[in-house]
Amino acid sequence: MARTAAAVTVLGIDIGGTGIKGAPVNVLTGELLAERHKIDTPQPSTPEAVGRVVRELVGHFGWTGPIGCTFPAIVHNGVTLSAANVDRTWLNAPAERILADATGLPLTLVNDADAAGLAEAQFGAAHGRGGKVVVITLGTGIGSALIVDGRLIRNTEFGHLIFPKDTIAEKYCSAKAKEDLGLKWKDYTPRLNDYLRHLDLLLSPDLVIIGGGISRKADKFIPDLTGLRYEVVPATLQNNAGIVGAAVEAARCAALAAPAA
């Protein structure tokens, strides 16, 4: 793990359906140590094409240490088991190995919403909160993270719930759905409200955190949410949560792999 005089640093990279962004992170504080750099997700977003962009980000920062990387899919033992918002060639692909080979550096892969959940639990709105916390990331799709008494339950896919009746939630109230349908906030917020009430029925959470780029405009919709039995707050780390959480996960894995003193 790369060390500076004041911090342990890991390069965090957040792969999304429309953009791939990264920055070195102080994993002790969650602070980005350089300005975030973003590159458009290639289309088609094949493993080879995405690998080239990840390698370009590594080169941009002159990085030679370990990398934490998110991916918008179910990630199990480094293998991507879904491909809802990326090219279908990622389905059942050894994604962690593909991206590590593309960079020539040690790389840890984690689901993007799980990374956001890790970041919010350690440094953000879920820090110190007990009970059941759900993190929802609204972007190209809907990602989700479930944290129970501070522990992450990995690979939840609440954005793929059948909702309302004949579609899945992320096609109904993701940020992309808002944009594609040209919905104003007064039209979009009731859709999101209905979905959050459905989560209330299924999970009875104590807190829901809204992340993704849309969280920067939380004042446009959170005050108008009604009928929920839990608190709803914006993500503290906003759209940097994936970068930070990926770096934290890579640091954790590196510590586990290190030989005992």
Question: What string of pLDDT tens digits covers the 261 residues of the chain?
Answer: 444 433 499 999 999 988 999 999 999 999 999 999 999 999 999 999 999 999 999 999 999 999 999 999 999 999 999 998 899 999 999 999 999 999 999 999 999 999 999 999 999 999 999 999 999 999 989 999 999 999 999 999 999 999 999 999 999 999 999 999 999 999 999 999 999 999 999 999 999 999 988 999 999 999 999 999 999 999 999 889 999 999 999 999 888 776 655
| Statement to judge: residues 48 and 136 lie in one domain | no
Name the pairing type of β-strands 142-148 and 231-234: unpaired
What pTM did the predictor assign? 0.91
Task: Give the sign of the dihedral formed by CA 106, CA 213, CA 121, CA 124.
Answer: positive
Residue 95: domain span: 2-111
Q: Are residues 215 and 139 in the same domain?
A: yes
Identify whether residues 98 and 138 lie together within a single domain. Answer: no
Q: Nearest CA to 225 among 180, 185, 178, 260?
A: 185
Residue 113: which residues within 8 A CB-CB, separation 6 or more?
Answer: 135, 136, 137, 143, 144, 145, 156, 211
User: Could you tell me if 101 and 139 lie in one domain?
Assistant: no
Going by the DSSP 8-state scheme, the letter that residue 86 receives in this structure is S
Beta partners for residue 108, in sequence order? 68
> Would residue 244 count as lying in a domain?
no
Give the end of a domain, one of 111, 133, 156: 111
96 and 144 assigned to the same domain: no
- Indicate whether 100 and 199 sit together in one domain: no
Residue 249 inside a domain? The answer is no
